[in-house]
Chain A
Amino acid sequence: MTTVSVALIYPDLLGTYGDGGNAMVLAQRLRWRRYEAEVVTVTAGQAVPDSCDLYVVGGGEDLPQALAAARLLESKALHRAVASGAAVLAVCAGLQILGEAFAGAGGEAIEGLGLLPCVTRISARPRAIGEILVRPAGRWSGLGLLTGFENHGALTTLLPGAAAAGHVLAGVGNEDGTGEGVVSGRIWGTYLHGPVLARNPRLADLLLSWVVGDLAPLDDAEPSALHDERTENGPGERRRAGGVLGAPALSWAKGHLGKLASQKFAKQPEVRQTESG
């Protein structure tokens, strides 16, 4: 069996929010299924390979983001990999870089890689920070709910004809609390940190299935427990933090999660003292 390679692109530039964990999740889920898997870490000074099977591009700060984009645009390695069928997970700054254009530190428009049908611009609104819950749209609805943590100042607008990957149930998402992320071919762009694949094992397996086909089930007791706990508690935490709830999310959350969440938070987690001896 050939080795499946997962390229982690510029973790020194785009590694602010633990997104490198996505590469680890992908590789481990392959190994546990008896695939040979390797993570190829590509730091800023190294050439990006164009022959890997999966690429993970994470979130980062403004200046390193611009540097990363310039290098990827110059080498075109990611373009070549995509053209030959590689799968890509692009998170936050990664999503922005892969679009047609994104905003630099001073708000200026910077040319993106043009691999995703979106543009990103700065916003006068407060930074979108907090738990986010998404219901995948259309052909992705089989994934169940997606949970994550968003943290971005810029807003992403999809180009005409492009559809968001999911509907925002709690949080901001791309720009206004309605759509989140965008998928083009085998490129999944999202604002969800967490890391997103640690919280959403089914999304991890979707990306893997694009590369290796059908997958045997895994023991996902802990990842599933985390997914369910965050799905249940995340929206309540976002609301308590004064975050923005998407309009369609409000009624949904009230109906489905509000009750659960309020029960959860009426009783603050406490330090148990009874066990001490």
Chain B
Amino acid sequence: MPPAVKLPARAHLAALAGAGVGALSRVTGRGGGSVVGGHVILALEPKALARFSAGRRVVLVSGTNGKTTTTKLLARALSSAGREEVITNATGANLSTGLAATLASGRPGATAVLEVDEAWLGLVAGEVEPAAIVLLNLSRDQLDRNNEVRQVAERWRRACGALRPGSVVVANADDPLVVWAAAVAADVRWVGAGLTWTSDACGCPRCGGEVHFGGGPQPASKEQARRRAAPGGWRCASCGFARPDPVIWLADDDLTGRDRDAGHVDQVNLDRIDLPGANLPGANLPDTNLPGANLPDADIRELGAAWAGHAGYAVEASGVVHEVALRLPGRCNQANAVVVLAAATSLGYGASGVLSAMAEVEEVAGRYATVRSGGTTARLLLAKNPAGWAEVFTMLTPPPGPVVVAINARTADGQDPSWLWDVPFERLRGRPVVATGERYLDLAVRLHYAEVEHACDPGLLSAIAASGPGRADVVANYTAFHQVLAATRSTGDDRARRGPREAGPREAGPREAGPREAGPREVADREADRGGAGKGGLL
């Protein structure tokens, strides 16, 4: 732990003013306060990120999907396993304003675990001198803001190349764009976290050639086979740019043929791990061109069951195997947990404490929470892009479980919802489906052409109720998700189980959680004025 640094008077003033304005925002019911407080702090102290991170260990988490969950798992792991105060931006206020407010709020010297918007990572990393950066994945998301995902990868690469000695990068070896970015760092821990959606990485980030996934030469030995666990390798056919060997990877009991008694992985069934069709470019086309859409229900059930409710395994290259037991559902969260394990152990924390701390997390900023509307009990799932949907399909209650899909296209969502055509919604055939959200018509037309019978209801709560009595899955993109949360929580109809409070400025509760007075769109619009727009978090 580095020694605490005495802050200059100006920084103290900025922190006090920011905290005051943030509290005012909360008291007056305008929001959670971290964004507006952050604006005040940055106005008074432009170098706030550097000032307030001095003397603390800072870990940054970035990627297109899984940032918020991974940040929460890591913060919980470090605070629990390390028995120390950890400050974190738990609600996803992940631009400079939210980060400044978070950093200014904590006790000097407290470790900070910060989710950072992928477009802002370079700027933030340059200011806070992170002890570790966690890089999860990169895929198409908010293209009206990020334009081309390759440009984001290039920015990450510059950030990784500029890191001070001693910083460690924990990066997903299964994502070619992430590998391209992280490979220039001096100290990289490669993690085999998998990549269900590969359509944004088919062109080699190094030479533009074709990247092939899954195939490649047969493993020459059992040792090599183990190294290729969780989904198979990738390699550029033109320049040879290929997956680096991970030091730790995710393997699943059923999928690996793991011999429980011997405690090691014998054989990896690579074909079973990727969601069939999800990674094929033509996945959204009908009939013969749509491998995923024509999956029999039994296969979908099997796929869903494959990851629901039973443990995955973190396999270290040394041969050590850890069981990863989570309350959070889905393959993607098992993968996030393995990344957290790699990050925490690289910072000196013990694996068993990290794993048991992660096992306690059951809800992440409303994700996986259960809410009620009318006679319907709904589980909330967040999916904001095709890669997120590829994971969500494995988590859905099996058919004929009803699904409500809520789509907005505000600034924080990306204003172009054409990504809906990259999601194989054909898989929802045979369920009651309700299209809702501000852009329910875009979704309805997609479902129309997918020949998925559906109802339309622009009202979020009435749409949930319209899915019928009993249980339903609600899948929403970013601002729609917060609207659902706010609506259900403000009615007092919330049955969500809450976890213990996070250290730091946790923003929860009905008024903060939703965009009724000032939504993510307005907040993000203000961020846009500062040179970037995105999840401004909740005012």
Contacts and interface: CB of A to CB of B under 8 A. Distances in A.
Interface in A182-198: 193-195, 198
A271 B516 contact: yes
Contacts, number: 173
B418 A64 contact: no
A62 B153 CA distance: 14
A15 B286 contact: no
Interface string A190-234: 000111001100000000000000000000001101100100000
A49 to B, nearest CB: 14
A237 B521 CA distance: 12
B203 A193 contact: no
B438 interface: yes
A247 interface: no
A226 B445 contact: yes
Interface string B493-512: 10000000000000000000
B373 interface: yes
Given A16-B143, A67-B208, A277-B374, A44 B202 contact: yes
Given A20-B284, A21-B449, A130 B415 contact: yes
A85 interface: no
B446 A39 contact: no
A12 B446 CA distance: 20
B461 A273 contact: yes
A63 B153 CA distance: 14
A41 B282 contact: yes
Interface in B257-291: 281-282, 284-289
B441 A222 contact: yes
A16 B140 contact: yes
B203 A272 contact: no
A271 B460 contact: yes
Contacts of B80: none
Contacts of B461: 271-276
Interface string B308-340: 000000000000000000000000000000000
Contacts of B491: 273, 276
B346 interface: no
Given A61-B203, A149-B418, A271-B461, A25 B286 contact: no
A241 B411 CA distance: 9
B148 interface: yes
Contacts of B286: 24, 27-28, 31, 39
Interface in B428-481: 438, 441-442, 444-446, 448-449, 451, 456, 458-462, 465
B420 A226 contact: no
A16 B373 CA distance: 36
Nearest to A41: B282
Interface stretch (B42-50, B107-115, B482-490): B482-490
B416 interface: yes
Interface in A1-28: 8, 11-13, 15-21, 23-25, 27-28
A15 B484 CA distance: 31
B450 to A, nearest CB: 8
A20 B147 contact: no
B253 interface: no
A18 B423 CA distance: 9
Among B375, B411, B462, find the residue whose CB has the most chain A CB atoms closer than 10 A.
B462
A202 B199 CA distance: 30
A61 B148 contact: yes
Contacts of A27: 285-286
A272 B460 contact: yes
Contacts of A277: 372-375, 465, 493
A10 B375 CA distance: 47
B281 A39 contact: no
A39 B459 contact: no
A56 B143 CA distance: 21
Interface in B357-391: 372-375
B460 A20 contact: no
B420 A18 contact: yes
Given A198-B445, A222-B441, A275-B374, A17 B416 contact: yes
B144 interface: yes
Contacts of B449: 21, 24-25, 28, 198
Interface string A251-277: 000000000000000000111111111
Interface string A124-149: 00010111000000000000000001
Contact of A20 (B281, B375, B445, B486): B281
Nearest to A70: B208
Interface in A25-82: 25, 27-28, 31, 38-41, 43-45, 61-64, 66-67
A184 B487 CA distance: 51
Interface string A142-173: 00000001010100000000000000000000
A149 B416 contact: yes
Contacts of B459: 271-272, 275
A129 B144 contact: yes
A8 B282 contact: yes
B422 interface: yes
Contact of B374 (A8, A64, A276): A276
A17 B487 contact: no
B488 A127 contact: no
Contacts of A225: 441, 444
A21 B140 contact: no
A17 B143 contact: yes
Contacts of A62: 148, 150
A15 B281 contact: yes
A24 B210 contact: no
B281 A18 contact: no
Given A28-B449, A62-B148, A275-B374, A43 B419 contact: no
B208 A63 contact: yes
A193 B488 contact: no
A85 to B, nearest CB: 24
B514 interface: yes
Given A21-B421, A21-B449, A39-B286, A12 B460 contact: no
B487 A130 contact: no
A273 B148 contact: no
A62 to B, nearest CB: 7
A41 B289 contact: yes
Contacts of B490: 273
5 contacts: A12-B199, A198-B445, A226-B444, A226-B445, A269-B438
Which 8 pairs from chain A and chain B are nearest by CB?
Answer: A21-B421, A18-B418, A18-B421, A41-B282, A275-B462, A272-B459, A63-B208, A11-B281
Interface of B: 140, 143-144, 147-150, 199-200, 202-203, 208-210, 281-282, 284-289, 372-375, 411, 415-416, 418-422, 438, 441-442, 444-446, 448-449, 451, 456, 458-462, 465, 483-484, 486-488, 490-491, 493, 514, 516
Interface of A: 8, 11-13, 15-21, 23-25, 27-28, 31, 38-41, 43-45, 61-64, 66-67, 127, 129-131, 149, 151, 153, 193-195, 198-199, 222-223, 225-226, 229, 237, 241, 269-277
